[in-house]
Amino acid sequence: MENVLISYLPHDWSYRWLPLGDYKLVELCSSSSIHLELEARVSGNFNLGVTKIERVENPYLWGQYLLRKEEYECKGVVEERELFHDTGADKIHSIVSTNLDRRLACRVKYGRGVSFSPSPSYANRESSRNNGVNRALILANVLVQKAHLVSGCLEIPPQGYDTTVGNCNNV
């Protein structure tokens, strides 16, 4: 199975032979075009204090993502969105090794689960105060097939929807 997965890994990953279950954080060179582009996107008009940018290389999570994407595509059109999630820096290793866990969400205004935003400043501003000042901003590809617009509290999306969207599409 590992040999099959290796053929689907992104071409720019630095290390292609990680055992399943292992991951690597690769710091991007501060003068690279991707680093400069991401830093500009994150900083915008706000100084969010970017100290470093790392790419997550986790073959297992990548494989899970590809399988979920194919599952969604079999049901119809799926949209891939680049969205931000703000968390405490101390939680990064848990997240990049086992993924985000919706059961750990404590603020669930727009649905019980992990919150993402297209706006890095919004994600940072609305991050739990428990995350303190030592923060990490995750840029993730998020699969969306059918989104339910929410204006108040909601536990889970209605049947047939895979996510909720609220606050003028900021969440």
> Comparing 9 with 26, which gets the higher pLDDT?
26
Q: Is 111 left (phi over 0), alpha (psi -120 to 50) or beta?
A: left
8 and 1 Cβ atoms separated by less than 8 Å: no
pLDDT in tens, 3-20: 666 778 888 887 667 666
86 and 46 Cβ atoms separated by less than 8 Å: no
> Residue 168 — pLDDT band, cuts 50, 70, 90?
confident
What percentage of the chain exceeds 70 in pLDDT? 78
Rounded distance between C-alpha atoms, residue 13 and residue 63, angstroms: 14
List the structure tokens of 11.
């071409």
- Bridge partners, residue 56, by sequence: 25
List the structure tokens of 167.
């606050």
pTM score, two decimals?
A: 0.83
pLDDT averaged over every residue in the chain? 81
